[in-house]
Amino acid sequence: MYKTSITRLASTGEGIGHLQGKTYFIPRTVPGDEIEFISVLEKKNYGRGLLQKILKASPQRISAPCKYYEKCGGCQLQHIEPHWHKDESIKQLHNTLVKFGPGETSILPTISGEAWNYRNSVTFHREHSFQGFRDYNDRQVIDIDTCNIARPRINQLWKQTKPLIAHIQGSLIPRVMLREYSSHNVVIFFLAQEKLVPELQKITSPLKTEALFYYALIDSQHPKKENTPPTPLHTKTPLSISQHIGDIIIDCFPENFSQVNHEVAMMLLEYLLQDIANEQEHQKILDLYCGSGFFSLALAYRGHQVLGIEVSPRATMSAINSSLLNALDDRIGFQTGKVSTCTEKLVENKKKFSTIVIDPPRKGIDKKTLSTLPKLDPTFIYYISCNPITLARDLISLQKSGYQVMWLRPFDMFPQTYHIECMVKLKKNKKV
């Protein structure tokens, strides 16, 4: 057993303490805490600890409302006073941009929504007799009946679904995803072995009027991954689901990516649309990593000419279907392929765009695409990111290519967790 004082918070939400010249990362602690902990990981320059006892509590410590928080790894910040943490997260974001990115940056106030019951998509894991989320320490599944950050209907339907499959071995159904759409449909999606499909059809039949049920088959080489697209469990279940984005209807497949916080995602979208309109109406816009067309369709609806690029054929199919459904196909197009390959072809064909919207995965933009973007000659680039480290790295590259950061706006897309969404506006320097 060791003693230490927590001096600051890591970007992952863990408290940082020091002992005999080594840094320890200790979850569920707050700067100002004096604690006892045990070591669960030792490396040359750092270690990971597990909180055992709070000797003196920080003034920023509060009681977590969730009964599972002591073990559950889904949230990291329920024990920290929220206003203090929001200020701290901005300081960390600023430090990341200074240390790894373009330096001093204008950070606008954070836009936030509801702090609880916001999450519209939840994946429950199943191992042995447990059905729930993973322990933040040993990664074992802990049993969960309800989640404080999930939408109420998701919690209601999980309580109804969970006992129906409790007798089925976890390896036969390793995951169950529940997602609520803005159209108020709820999808329940099982990853399962093929032999279980008839039983799943039978046991979910009483809930057919409450939710839309789908399954995907387990990949024999990768037992926790699917090797088929989602298939309806029941004959009258549609192949796709409608998602309302203001006046637009997006036609989605169950596996298509969508933001887990619809309220804040709509705030981000409206902010983007308004800022683009303030610069110039009816622009030619390129939307990279466009998914099923969340930004593309809204931009086309506002009168812009849009080209969306997405690597997933199923997501592109959804986007094309949605463009037809909303009668936007005369001013929007989609390409399926790697962003780096497609943007290179656009350069070869001498295509130009006034604005580029880019929302890459957590790993950020690949080097090839980063070098290609300036050749498409956009005046403005809007970069949406959920990873400050890769964002900072990519902003340096764009800065070297002649683009200046105008502002950065954080969006609190994931309350109670350390994750944060940011939108950055860049403008081409006049000399370039």
The mean per-residue pLDDT over the stretch 417-423 comes to: 96
162 band by pLDDT with thresholds 50, 70 and 90: very high
Q: Which residues are catalytic?
A: 386
pLDDT reported for residue 221: 73
Report whether CATH 2.40.50.140 matches the domain 1-61.
yes
The mean per-residue pLDDT over the stretch 234-252 comes to: 92
Does pLDDT of 432 surpass 60?
no
The distance from CA 363 to its chain's CA centroid, rounded to whole angstroms, is 12
Instruction: Give the count of beta carbons closer than 10 Å to the beta carbon of residue 389.
Output: 15
Contacts of 285 (CB under 8 A, 6+ apart): 276, 299, 304, 305, 306, 307, 353, 354, 355, 356, 357
d(C-alpha 352, C-alpha 375), whole Å: 8
Beta strands in 206-340 (DSSP E): 212-217, 231-232, 241-245, 248-252, 284-288, 305-310, 332-336
The mean per-residue pLDDT over the stretch 184-212 comes to: 95
CB-CB contact of 214 with 233 (8 Å) = yes
The mean per-residue pLDDT over the stretch 29-57 comes to: 96
pLDDT reported for residue 182: 87
- Residue 296's alpha-carbon distances to 102, 280, 304, 332, in angstroms, are 28, 17, 9, 8
pLDDT reported for residue 327: 98
d(C-alpha 210, C-alpha 213), whole Å: 10
CA dihedral for 168, 173, 174, 178, sign (positive or negative): negative
Lowest-pLDDT range of 88-97, 135-144, 163-172, 224-233: 224-233
Helix, strand, or coil here: 320?
Answer: helix
- Residue 61's alpha-carbon distances to 43, 58, 65, 321, in angstroms, are 28, 5, 12, 49
Helix, strand, or coil here: 182?
Answer: coil
d(C-alpha 256, C-alpha 176), whole Å: 15
Does pLDDT of 96 surpass 80?
yes
Q: What is the pTM of this model?
A: 0.95
d(C-alpha 84, C-alpha 280), whole Å: 38
CB-CB contact of 427 with 406 (8 Å) = yes
431 band by pLDDT with thresholds 50, 70 and 90: low
Residue type, 18: H
The mean per-residue pLDDT over the stretch 36-53 comes to: 95
Residues 184-195: tens digit of each pLDDT = 899 999 999 999
Q: Say what percent of the chain tops pLDDT 90.
A: 92
Residues 271-287: tens digit of each pLDDT = 999 999 999 889 999 99
In the β-sheet with 380-385, what is the strand arrangement from edge to edge? 332-336, 305-310, 284-288, 355-358, 380-385, 421-428, 403-411
By C-alpha distance, which of 46, 111, 17 is closest to 408? Answer: 111
Does pLDDT of 220 surpass 80?
no
pLDDT reported for residue 224: 66
- CATH code linked to domain 92-113+246-428: 3.40.50.150
The mean per-residue pLDDT over the stretch 217-223 comes to: 78
By C-alpha distance, which of 367, 377, 370 is closest to 347? Answer: 377
Calculate the CA dihedral of residues 283, 288, 291, 295 and round it to 10 degrees. -30
The mean per-residue pLDDT over the stretch 338-345 comes to: 98
d(C-alpha 402, C-alpha 85), whole Å: 34
Report whether CATH 2.40.50.1070 matches the domain 121-238.
yes
Does pLDDT of 158 surpass 70?
yes
Helix, strand, or coil here: 214?
Answer: strand
Residue type, 38: I
Q: Where are the chain's structural domains?
A: 1-61, 92-113+246-428, 121-238
| Same fold: 92-113+246-428 with 121-238 | no
The distance from CA 401 to its chain's CA centroid, rounded to whole angstroms, is 28
pLDDT reported for residue 268: 98
- The tokens for 141 are 């599944």
